[in-house]
Structure 1
Amino acid sequence: MGIIKLHNIRAYAYHGCLVEEGKIGSDYRVDVAVKANLQPSADSDHLADTVDYVHINRIVKEEMAIRSKLLEHVARRILDRIFDEIAITEEATVEVSKINPPIGGNVEMVTISMTLERSRHRIQKEL
């Protein structure tokens, strides 16, 4: 088992419960870690045998462009797409951070982190 990590994917998006957040938007940071069997790609040296981080980056960018009230909702959509589109994924963690959140204080960022295993993904999709 191995891990592919993407750190600090930056996006400008319009997530949030406040009407102003939907109009003004803000900066976000997304971090993704995908666990998978990387031995086949280590042996073959073929992109088709691994987790393509360009693909993960595209998923993140596309899902961040869809407005949601909650960061949890965005993270779950990203996780669902990773499992649906990258067959060798066994577990994935997504962290979505809102930079300088409008919470009336000097806070650098607020982060939600979600981890999902393939077996749990299947069960939740069946419900």
Structure 2
Amino acid sequence: MGKIILENIKLFGFHGCMPEEAYVGSYYTINLEIELDFYKASINDDLSKTINYVDLYRIIKEEMAINSKLLEHLAQRIIQRIKKYRTDLIKHTKIKICKENPPLQSSVDRVCIFLEDKNIIN
């Protein structure tokens, strides 16, 4: 068993429930962790036996471009797309999405959500 981790992806997006968030936007930091068995890939040096992190980044970037009111919804969409991409390999997915400098009435560096999903394959 192994993990692919994408750390501190920084993207701009328009997510939130407040009207100004839809046109002002904010910076986000995303961390993704995928647990999978990439033994065959490690032995055979074969990209088709693992998950290409370039594809994971592309999925995150595409989903970040679609506005959501809730970060929870955004995280769920990302996980579902990743599961569809390589459901045969993925055992466990974790994602953390942080909104940098959220529009609150006090000084808060970031607000984050964390979502994990275990892929139960029968």
TM-score by length of 1: 0.92
Deviations 1:63-107 (A, max 9, x none): 000000000000000000110002311110011100000111111
The amino acid that maps onto 1:51 is I
RMSD, aligned CA: 1.0
The corresponding residue for 1:30 is 30
SS of the equivalent of 1:19 reads coil
The corresponding residue for 1:76 is 76
Unaligned runs of 5+ in 2: none
1-structure distance, mates of 2:92, 2:85: 13
The reply on whether 1:64 has 2:71 as its aligned counterpart is: no
After superposing on structure 2, the runs of 4+ consecutive aligned residues of structure 1 that deviate more than 2 Å are: none
Pairing 1:104-123 to 2, within 5 Å after superposition:
104-119=105-120
Q: Which has the higher helix share?
A: 1
How many corresponding residue pairs? 120
Unaligned runs of 5+ in 1: 123-127
The amino acid that maps onto 1:102 is P
The corresponding residue for 2:95 is 94
SS of the equivalent of 1:105 reads coil
The Cα of 1:38 is off from its aligned counterpart by 1.3
1-structure distance, mates of 2:80, 2:33: 14
